[in-house]
C-alpha cells in the first residue's frame, strides 16, 4: 500500500505508555488486557473504555483506510448524525422495544435513545432530501460512536457497550440498482480488508434483526472467535451456520430418536410437523426454504404445546378428523427412526402431506456442502468485523421515504446498510496478529510505522527521526532516559510497531533497524542485493528471532521505506 501523506514525529506517549511489563506478560496476557497494559485503552467500566494515545492512533489509521475506500470506490458522502434519537422514530419501525437500547429522558420527560445504528435517522434524513430518481443512487456513511446496553459485555472492545462503528446506508431507485450497490459496497469492503493486511473471509449470512434477504459477513478466522463459519473444500463457499445447507454423507442413516417441532403455515390453518434427528439444531432458514416461505416463523420460540393449542383452537371437535397437516422429514431420518407420538387423536392420513429429502438442521463439519453437493464442510471459529445487508423497502415504507420515479410516480426508496466495527477491529486485529512477544500490527493498523529508540534525548535520535519524517513515515521517538535502549526496543516490539530503529552511541553513524512486522511480500530483497554492503547489511537475528539490519544513518529513510513497502 502507499505510505501515508505526511509523516509525523510523536515524542510523548508519556505516562500512558506501559513500563516494565515482563516478557511473560507479553506472552500470556489475554489481548484485551495486553491492550490495556501497553497503553492502548483503559477500561473505565464493564464494556466501556477510554482511548489512550496509542489506541487512538490505531483507531484513526483504520478509520482512514475505511474512509479512503468509501470515498474513492463508492463516492459515498460522509455525514455525522446526532447520537441521540427520539422515541417516536424508533416506534415507527417497531424497534423501540429492543432491550439493548440505551434509553434516557430529557428534562421534559421525553424519551430518547443513544443510537446503536442509524437506519431510522438516516432514512428520515435522506427521505427529506431525495425527491427524484435523478438524486439516486446515494450512499451516506459515518464513523461515529454507537451504544448498546449489552447485558454481558465480553472481551473488552470485542463486545462493548460503546463502540466506534462505520455505518453506511445506500438509497436506490429499484431493487436491481440496490442489489448492484450491495455488490459494489462488498467489493469496496474487500478492498478495505485487503488494505488492513489481515487475511479475512466473507460469508453469506442470516440477516437477523435488521431484515432484508441478502447479507454478507466479514470475518477473521481465530480460535477465540464467537462465530462459526462453514467452508467447503470443493466449491470454496463460506457461510455462516444460519445460511449453510448441508447434506449427510449418506441419506437416512440416523437410526436413533427423531425430534419434532411444530409450526403453522402463514395463514394458520395447517399444522407443520418438522422432524429432525435428536441432538441437532433446527435451522429456520432451511425450514423456510423447504416450505417455500409458507411458515409462520414468529412462533419459532413458542413450545410445541402452545402451537398445537393455537392450531386446535381453529378446529371444531369433529373437524379434527379433517385437519390439514404437513409432515416434513429431514433427509437424515428414515422410516425406522423413532418418531414421537402424533398429537391429534383422530385424524385421516389422507389429509396429510409429506415432504422428504430436505435438510432442516444446522450444518456440521464432516457433512457434504449443500451448494455443490460434492465438497466436505469444515468449521472455523471466527471474529466478525463487518456486515452488509440489502434492506429493500423495509425502512423506507414505514418511514414513508419516497422519491419520484421515471414514470413520475411516487415510490419507496430501495435501501442497503453496511457496518464495520472500527473499535472492534482494533481488538480483532490485535488478537489475530499477536504472538508470544506481544502485539504485531499490520502497517495499516499500527499506531506508528517506526519507533526510533535512543537512550536519552540527543541530536542523533532527532536527526534520524526527522529523516524518516521527511520521507512521509509516521515516527514515534522513544527517548525516555529512565528506560534503557534494550528495554525500549523490546517495548517497541511488544507494542507491535512494524520497525524499530535503535540509535546507540557505539555503532554511530550506523543504526540498527529491527523488523517486527509481518511481511506480505519480499520486494526488499532485490533492493538489498543492489545496495552497498558498506551502507546496509543484514546482520544476525536477535535472540528473540527478530531480523536485524545495520544501516548507515544517511540511508535509513530509504531502507525503512523499502522494508515498510512489504508490510
Q: Decide: is 249 part of the binding site for Zn ion (CB under 5 A).
A: no
Point out which span in 109-117, 148-156, 370-378, 415-423 binds Zn ion (CB under 5 A). 370-378
Contacts of 283 (CB under 8 A, 6+ apart): 241, 242, 245, 359, 360, 361, 362, 363
Q: Decide: is 365 part of the binding site for Zn ion (CB under 5 A).
A: no
Q: Decide: is 229 part of the binding site for Zn ion (CB under 5 A).
A: no
Q: x/- contact string, 443-482, with Zn ion (CB under 5 A)? A: ----------------------------------------
| Size, binding site for Zn ion by CB under 5 A | 7
Q: Decide: is 232 part of the binding site for Zn ion (CB under 5 A).
A: yes
Point out which span in 211-219, 232-240, 292-300, 423-431 binds Zn ion (CB under 5 A). 232-240
Give CA–CA dist 178/215, Å, rounded.
13
Q: Is the Cβ–Cβ distance between 202 and 218 less than 8 Å?
A: yes
Give CA–CA dist 471/303, Å, rounded.
67
Q: What does each C-alpha distance from 118 to 47, 126, 417 come to in angstroms?
A: 21, 12, 9
Q: Decide: is 372 part of the binding site for Zn ion (CB under 5 A).
A: yes
Query: Hey, which residues does 219 pair with through a beta bridge?
Result: 201, 384
Nearest CB to Zn ion, comparing residues 234 and 285? 234
All 3 cell numbers of residue 454?
535512543
Nearest CB to Zn ion, comparing residues 238 and 473? 238
Which of 53, 211, 375, 504 touches Zn ion (CB under 5 A)?
375
Give just the sign of the alpha carbon dihedral 106, 110, 116, 118.
negative
Q: Decide: is 376 part of the binding site for Zn ion (CB under 5 A).
A: no
State in angstroms the smallest separation of the CB of 555 from Zn ion.
52
Q: Decide: is 234 part of the binding site for Zn ion (CB under 5 A).
A: yes
State in angstroms the smallest separation of the CB of 231 from Zn ion.
9
> Among 267, 258, 407, which Cα is nearest to 334's?
258
Nearest CB to Zn ion, comparing residues 230 and 556? 230
- Residues written for the chain: 567
Residue 521: Cβ-neighbour burial (10 angstroms; 0-12, 13-18, 19+): exposed
Which of 244, 271, 369, 417 touches Zn ion (CB under 5 A)?
369
Which of 31, 58, 359, 371 touches Zn ion (CB under 5 A)?
371
Q: Decide: is 235 part of the binding site for Zn ion (CB under 5 A).
A: yes
State in angstroms the smallest separation of the CB of 382 from Zn ion.
18
Give CA–CA dist 12/559, Å, rounded.
25
How many other C-beta atoms lie within 10 A of the C-beta of residue 100? 13
Nearest CB to Zn ion, comparing residues 356 and 375? 375
In the complex, the residues that contact Zn ion under the rule CB under 5 A are 232, 234-235, 369, 371-372, 375
Amino acid at each position: 500500500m502507499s505510505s501515508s501523506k505526511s509523516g509525523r514525529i510523536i515524542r510523548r506517549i508519556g505516562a500512558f505508555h506501559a513500563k516494565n511489563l515482563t516478557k511473560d506478560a507479553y506472552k500470556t496476557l489475554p489481548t484485551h488486557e495486553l491492550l490495556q497494559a501497553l497503553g492502548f485503552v483503559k477500561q473505565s467500566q464493564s464494556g466501556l473504555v477510554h482511548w489512550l494515545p496509542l489506541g487512538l492512533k490505531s483507531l484513526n489509521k483504520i478509520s482512514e483506510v475505511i474512509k479512503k475506500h468509501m470515498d474513492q470506490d463508492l463516492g459515498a458522502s460522509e455525514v455525522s448524525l446526532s447520537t441521540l434519537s427520539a422515541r417516536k422514530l424508533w416506534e415507527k419501525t417497531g424497534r423501540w422495544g429492543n432491550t439493548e437500547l440505551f434509553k434516557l429522558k430529557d428534562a421534559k420527560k421525553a424519551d430518547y435513545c443513544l443510537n446503536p445504528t442509524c437506519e431510522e435517522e438516516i432514512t428520515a434524513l435522506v427521505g427529506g432530501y431525495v425527491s427524484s430518481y435523478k438524486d439516486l443512487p446515494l450512499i451516506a456513511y459515518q464513523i461515529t460512536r454507537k451504544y448498546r446496553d449489552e447485558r454481558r459485555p465480553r472481551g473488552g472492545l470485542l463486545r462493548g457497550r460503546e463502540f466506534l462503528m462505520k455505518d453506511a446506508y445506500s438509497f436506490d431507485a429499484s431493487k436491481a440498482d440496490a442489489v448492484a450497490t450491495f455488490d459494489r459496497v462488498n467489493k469496496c469492503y474487500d478492498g478495505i480488508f485487503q488494505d488492513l493486511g489481515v487475511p479475512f473471509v466473507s460469508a453469506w449470512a442470516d440477516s437477523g434483526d435488521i431484515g432484508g434477504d441478502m447479507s454478507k459477513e466479514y470475518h477473521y478466522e481465530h480460535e477465540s472467535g464467537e462465530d462459526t463459519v462453514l467452508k467447503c473444500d470443493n466449491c470454496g463457499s463460506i457461510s455462516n451456520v444460519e445460511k449453510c445447507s448441508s447434506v449427510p454423507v449418506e441419506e437416512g442413516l440416523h437410526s436413533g430418536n427423531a425430534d419434532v417441532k411444530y409450526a403453522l403455515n402463514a395463514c394458520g390453518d395447517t399444522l407443520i410437523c418438522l422432524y429432525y434427528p435428536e441432538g441437532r439444531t433446527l435451522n429456520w432458514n432451511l425450514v423456510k426454504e423447504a416450505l417455500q416461505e409458507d411458515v409462520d416463523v414468529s412462533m419459532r420460540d413458542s413450545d410445541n404445546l402452545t402451537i398445537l393449542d393455537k392450531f386446535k383452537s381453529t378446529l371444531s371437535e369433529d373437524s379434527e378428523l379433517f385437519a390439514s397437516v404437513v409432515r416434513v422429514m429431514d433427509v437424515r431420518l428414515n422410516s425406522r427412526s423413532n418418531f414421537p407420538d402424533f398429537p391429534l387423536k383422530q385424524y385421516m392420513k389422507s389429509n396429510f402431506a409429506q415432504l422428504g429429502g430436505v435438510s432442516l438442521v444446522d450444518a456440521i463439519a464432516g457433512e457434504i456442502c449443500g451448494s455443490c453437493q460434492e465438497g466436505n464442510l469444515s468449521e472455523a471459529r471466527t471474529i466478525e468485523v463487518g456486515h452488509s445487508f440489502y434492506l429493500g423497502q423495509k425502512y423506507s415504507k414505514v418511514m414513508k421515504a419516497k422519491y419520484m420515479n421515471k414514470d413520475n410516480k411516487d415510490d419507496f426508496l430501495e435501501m442497503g446498510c453496511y457496518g464495520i466495527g472500527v473499535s472492534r477491529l482494533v481488538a480483532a486485529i490485535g488478537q489475530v496478529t499477536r504472538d508470544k512477544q506481544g502485539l504485531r500490527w499490520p502497517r495499516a493498523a499500527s499506531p506508528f510505522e517506526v519507533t526510533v529508540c535512543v537512550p536519552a534525548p540527543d541530536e542523533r535520535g532527532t536527526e534520524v527521526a526527522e529523516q524518516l519524517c521527511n520521507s512521509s513515515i509516521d515516527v514515534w521517538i522513544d527517548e525516555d532516559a529512565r528506560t534503557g535502549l534494550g528495554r525500549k526496543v523490546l517495548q517497541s516490539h511488544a507494542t507491535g510497531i512494524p520497525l524499530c530503529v535503535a540509535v546507540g552511541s557505539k555503532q554511530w553513524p550506523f543504526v540498527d533497524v529491527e523488523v517486527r512486522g509481518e511481511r506480505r511480500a519480499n520486494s526488499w530483497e532485490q533492493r538489498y542485493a543492489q545496495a552497498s554492503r558498506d551502507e546496509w547489511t543484514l546482520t544476525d537475528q536477535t535472540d528473540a528471532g527478530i531480523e536485524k539490519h545495520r544501516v548507515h544513518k544517511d540511508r535509513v529513510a530509504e531502507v525503512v521505506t523499502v522494508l515498510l513497502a512489504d508490510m
